[in-house]
Amino acid sequence: MTMDQEVARLRIGRDLRDAEAKLDAALLSQSALLTTLVTARSETESEPFLGHEALLRLTKSQQALLDAGGELARVHGQLKGIQKEQAGFDDCPPNEPMITGDGEYNDVVARTA
């Protein structure tokens, strides 16, 4: 079964938005974990540096997610270019992470275009 361009565009857009949302969810989850770890250490009157190595690893993991988000923004920008080339337009749906409230590309996309 073949896929026409419109179906492909819709599926790619859906999956891209899903990937972007899941990256944000992962960052939020890790931020909550970081908060819980530091709060637990403080409120249980544990040693000041207990779990410090785990906290360092968690922040490295957060940095990796931020780096992945930047790469995903670049993918998004490149896919918009392909859409313009193939379909003749490069519109994103409303509330698209790549577009600010005034219709301009956000900072990450502007730097990668």
Q: What is the pLDDT of residues 4-61, one digit of tens each?
A: 888 888 899 999 999 999 999 999 999 999 999 999 999 999 999 999 999 999 999 9
* Ranges of each domain in the chain: 5-112
Q: How many helices (H) and strands (E) does the chain have?
A: 3, 0
Residue 112's pLDDT is 43
65-101 pLDDT, tens digit each = 999 999 999 999 999 999 888 888 777 765 555 555 5
Task: Extract long-range pairs of 14-22: CB within 8 Å, 24+ residues apart.
Answer: 16/72, 16/75, 16/76, 16/79, 17/96, 17/97, 19/72, 20/69, 20/72, 20/76, 20/97
Residue 69's pLDDT is 96
Q: Are 8 and 16 in contact (CB under 8 A)?
A: no
